[in-house]
Amino acid sequence: MSMKVLMLPGDGIGPEVMHEAEALLEEIAAQHSLDLQLDTALIGGAAMDATGAPLPEETLQACREADAVLLGAVGGPKWSDPNARVRPEQGLLELRKALGLFVNLRPIRVHPSLAPISPLRPEFVADVDVMVVRELTGGIYFGEKQEGDDHAVDVCSYTREEIERVVVQAAELARQRCGGLTLVDKANVLATSRLWRKVTTELMTNRYPDVPFETMLVDAASMHIVANPSRFNVLVTENLFGDILTDEASMLVGSMGMLPSASLGKDRAGLYEPIHGSAPDIAGQGIANPVGMLASVGMMFRYSLGIREVAGRIERAIWSAIADGQCTPDIGGSLTTRAAGEAVRERLGEYYIPKFAYG
């Protein structure tokens, strides 16, 4: 069976880490006799330079026809004017909306050998294994906006349906992981948060009584993430809170270059990307960490392409390379981006059991 994977390298270090993703896909296809059709399209600043639009129609059409989409990164100083009518980041927001991708999964796990480089004491992060589930298409980012010289408005709006479909995803993951679910909100202040709490409590009580459930205000959650992160298993939250908390939690592992993400909708096709940005300060130097991108490929095989064996092989290879110190400078290694990608590919056949995986 043929599977179409569309690669959107984007800007900054995006093309560099995408090169390693493509090499990994080609190696996997050869080893498993998979018919992978790999195509490339423009998005973000690169698309703006070429077409004037951050998400050209041909890119969007190619995304709709693909079984999965891989994204490198978007944005950079060249297009950073916040007052500009068109910005690279709009391409990503438009893509998520057009594909109906309403939930974002971000696993936060710390490799044992990297615990010493975490900003927290090693014993605080040794057992961290958190899945953050973020709502992706609603809330303040997509609400009505008004902007003037002396007054501005950003509307935050949610419906029961928008909340339920995300909470179901989170509850199912918590059940699979044999852990609990924590809803993060601001129900003591915000009406939308009170709706989130009402809908989530009803759903967990009626459909998931076997899953331990708690609610927590976002300010308390932000403190616990750095004071006692191992207390969490699955976190679910609205768009803005999820955006902030996942970036905070990502620093537990010592580098934003380590972490993958998956954006999913009601269909199997999804968008997979490392959580880091375009990192223009290191673009072109060949030192960008490809692990977040490669782990995103693993998530793609797990959630969209449905080949869990391949996902596991990729995850074990990543864990093995890091255990051997075969990694980039941001996590204590000395390899270039390409050498780090090669180190992972060389370990695809190894039998290595990591403490955690990216599933």
Q: Which residues are catalytic?
A: 141, 186, 219, 243, 247
Query: Helix-strand-coil percent breakdown of the chain, rounded to 5?
Result: 45, 20, 35
Q: How far apart are CA 353 and CA 257, in angstroms?
A: 22
Q: How many CB atoms are closer than 10 A to CB 144?
A: 9
Q: How far apart are CA 185 and CA 187, in angstroms?
A: 6
Residue with tokens 């095989």: 301
Q: Which of 145, 51, 135, 40 has the alpha carbon at shortest distance from 91?
A: 51
What's CA 256's distance to the chain center, in Å?
Answer: 11
Q: What single-letter DSSP state applies at residue 189?
A: T
Q: Are 199 and 208 in contact (CB under 8 A)?
A: no
Residue with tokens 């899953």: 211
Q: How many CB atoms are closer than 10 A to CB 233?
A: 18
Query: Helix, strand or coil for residue 102?
Result: coil
Q: Are 335 and 326 in contact (CB under 8 A)?
A: yes
Handedness of CA 230, 233, 239, 241 (dihedral sign): negative
Q: What single-letter DSSP state applies at residue 18?
A: H
